[in-house]
Structure 1
Amino acid sequence: MKQKLYRTLIELTNGPFTANLIKKFTHSKLSRRLIKSYATFYRINLDEMLDDINSYENLHTFFTRKLKENIRVIDQNEDSIVSPVDGVLEDIGKIDGNSVIYVKNKTYSISEMLGSSDRARKYAEGTYMILYLSPAHYHRIHSPINAKIMNRYSLGSKSYPVNRLGIKYGDSTLSKNFRTITELEHDWKSIAMVKVGAMFINSVEIINHDLEWKKGEEVAYFSFGSTVVLLFEKNSFQLNEDFSVPSEVRVGQALGKII
């Protein structure tokens, strides 16, 4: 009953009109008045920001704020996978032989997430990792490793919540929301980086279109709280032992390594 009610309410409020209204407001000068209260409510560290809080024209520019140079330390081990975002490591586990993952007692199809059973097959019996960004987090996305870009594309049309309620009651949000997929290659190993849009707004903006990415460099940003899913091939990734789930992570922090 709770799941049905949740989905009904989300469907009633998640449409082009609502999305455009939110987008228009967050880009307006009127929204500037909310920046300081937003920062206070979410306890945002103002000392990390590149610009002074009074310099932002609207809520959108504050939400997509940059950080001061070198404020995040990028792990320099050649084969380390670093966190591409500030966020929470919500889940990590094994992709089964049918390219399916189980998150919070729900089933997600990697084939649906990537838009192709052929694309998903290479990650069968591999590892998945889910990184969630709340409205309080820094929302720029960075490369998790030095890599070549093998493929990039977008799927989906709508975006539903990807917070804990969205994961629990939503309809396969990680594999059905608007999402931008980048397939990376490092040392002949494939890594899929799925950037999932959040409620109301298809909020993934790609800013780095190079054919190669350097570990830690900025590649995209979210215009709303969202999620990054990392997929690794079988026997290709080893998680750092000191991580538990859930754990707060920061850009550049080593999550594990390619093996």
Structure 2
Amino acid sequence: MTTTTTRSAATTSDASLGDQLFAAVQRCLPTRALSALMYRIAEIDSPAFKNPFIKAFMRGYPIDLAEAERETVEQYRHFNDFFTRALKHGARQQPKEPGVLSSPVDGRISQLGPIEDGRIFQAKGHDYTAAELLADDALAKAFDGGSFATIYLAPHNYHRVHLPFGGKLRSWTYVPGRLFSVNPATARAMPRLFSRNERMVAVFDTAFGPMAVVMVGALFVGGIETVWGGRLTPPHDRGTAPHHHHPDQTVALARGDEVGRFHMGSTVVLLAPKGALDWDSQLVAGQALRLGQPLARVLQRVTA
């Protein structure tokens, strides 16, 4: 497995002056209000508004509608409908081997490596704890000495999140927080970014033990949805206490099944227990990924 840079509180950040200024501006913004406004704008269904809006977006980003179920702008009800578009059947394939963890999204590796002393590497000079990310000290202990992968979804990416390995939903938690951008510039400059932002933490029981799938909200991410609970946000909770939930009925998903979706770009963080996975040695920070791409072999299997 490719390891990340050794972490130290004294390590100097790679953030440029521009990165630092961008992060400083965000601290002053009403990020929840702006994200809620973006959600409302993105749900305007007037063809006179949504069609030019979608076309302008497509001129700015490399989006191929030929792989989507609906191939024309006019077929989408509004921008959010376009942004969370489904792919054609077979557009992304899962690995043939059953004992492989696959990419849950189209995106780019932000960081990948071990969870050392309960801490997760964010960027040079910055880390955060698994307990902070999960909003659960006891749950975090299950991942002591384990591994993580952080995957960034740019605005042009497919924005549905799928399960990287089959499992049964144990619990899920909505954690209120800020809505800072999660792009690389902010990650380099903003301490504890992913554990400060609003997020949804889902824990699945799998053949290799618990697996956490964390969907992190961000600036202009107007909404997060799950397949078992529907729309989670908006509204964006201004409180600080996490909302812990257990499913009312069994939610068992196979590898590749949809977990949820983002309205606008964001980040997914995966956590696995110690000794569970052997990550592909070719994976490095900055590498582009496609949904279903093999990421790791399962080494450890547990009985239910």
State the TM-score, normalizing by the size of structure 1. Answer: 0.93
- 1:4, distance to aligned residue in structure 2 (A): 5.9
Q: Does 2:50 match 1:17?
A: no
SS in 1 for 2:34: helix
Task: Decide which moves more: 51-60 or 158-167.
Answer: 51-60
CA distance in 1, matches of 2:35, 2:285: 32
Q: Does 2:304 match 1:258?
A: no
Q: Does 2:116 match 1:100?
A: no
SS in 2 for 1:159: coil
- 2:178 maps to 158
* Aligned residue among 35, 39, 51 for 2:54: 35
Task: Decide which moves more: 152-161 or 214-223.
Answer: 152-161
Query: Cα deviations across residues 45-66 of structure 1 (Å, max 9, x unaligned)?
Result: 1210110222112221111111
- 2:251 maps to 211
- 1:18, distance to aligned residue in structure 2 (A): 2.0
**Structure 1: which 5+ residue stretches go unaligned?**
none
SS in 2 for 1:74: coil
CA distance in 2, matches of 1:154, 1:49: 30
- 1:239 maps to 279
- 2:42 maps to 26
Q: Indicate if the aligned counterparts of 2:120 and 2:129 stay in contact, CA closer than 8 A.
A: yes
SS in 2 for 1:21: helix
- 2:63 maps to 44
The alignment covers a number of residue pairs equal to: 258
* Aligned residue among 176, 190, 200 for 2:196: 176
Residue 13 of structure 1 aligns with an amino acid whose one-letter code is L
Q: Indicate if the aligned counterparts of 2:32 and 2:179 stay in contact, CA closer than 8 A.
A: no
Q: Does 2:95 match 1:75?
A: yes
SS in 2 for 1:65: coil
Relative distance call for 1:7 and 1:249 in structure 2 (3 A) is closer
CA distance in 1, matches of 2:209, 2:33: 42
* Aligned residue among 105, 110, 122 for 2:142: 122
**Structure 2: which 5+ residue stretches go unaligned?**
1-16, 230-249, 300-304
State the Cα RMSD in Å.
1.8
CA distance in 1, matches of 2:32, 2:104: 30
* Aligned residue among 148, 155, 158 for 1:135: 155
- 2:85 maps to 65
State the TM-score, normalizing by the size of structure 2. Answer: 0.80
Q: Indicate if the aligned counterparts of 1:133 and 1:227 stay in contact, CA closer than 8 A.
A: yes
